[in-house]
Amino acid sequence: MTTQRAYVRPMSTFWWVKKRSYFIFVMRELSSLFVAWFVFYLLLFISAVGRGGEAYQDFLVGAKYPAVVVINVVAFAFIVLHTVTWFSLTPKAMVLTIRGQRVPAIVILGAQYAALVAVSAFVYWLVTR
């Protein structure tokens, strides 16, 4: 008896460079790597604070090394991409209804940007006050 297997069309590793929307999709997914980078970076920062005032100053100097700046600039661009794409995705993934009426996408979008502003202001106040 022979078993039949469906034909799986081979796909190239770089299938996503041919079309703009595919490319943005992969870049969006790749932002995950830079989320992890900033968690790691913040841990290095907290560890420096834990080692004392001098280590903290050294960290601030180290953050200006060209290699670190390049990584951080690229990572920051990916974080912005993550924030923007995540916010615009939410109204599509989450259907909110209030009194039987679907909450319009623009309201969910606005609420998220408001949250971003509020959280940013709070963090800024907490670390600089």
Partner 1 sequence: MTRPRIEPLIWLNFSAGGVTAAVFLPVLAFLFAFAFPFGWIDAPSHEHLVSVIGNPITKLALFGLFVVMLVHAAHRFRYTLYDGLQIKEKGLIAVLCYGSAAIVALASIPVLLSV
- Among 33, 70, 95, 107, indicate the residue that binds partner 1 (CB under 8 A): 33
Binding of partner 1 by 43 (CB under 8 A): yes
Asked if 75 and 34 touch (Cβ cutoff 8 Å), the reply is yes
Q: How far is the CB of 71 from partner 1 (least distance, A)?
A: 9
Tokens of residue 6, six digits: 């469906």
User: What is residue 98's three-state secondary structure?
Assistant: strand
For the window 46-85, what string marks contact with partner 1 as x by the rule CB under 8 A? Answer: xx-xxxxx--xx--xx-xx-------x--xx--xx-xx--
Asked if 28 and 20 touch (Cβ cutoff 8 Å), the reply is no
Cα end-to-end distance, the chain, whole Å: 76
Longest Cα–Cα distance of the chain, Å, equals 76
Q: Interface residues with partner 1 (CB under 8 A)?
A: 11-13, 15-16, 26, 29-33, 35-36, 38-43, 45-47, 49-53, 56-57, 60-61, 63-64, 72, 75-76, 79-80, 82-83, 86-87, 93, 112, 115-116, 119-120, 123-124, 126-129
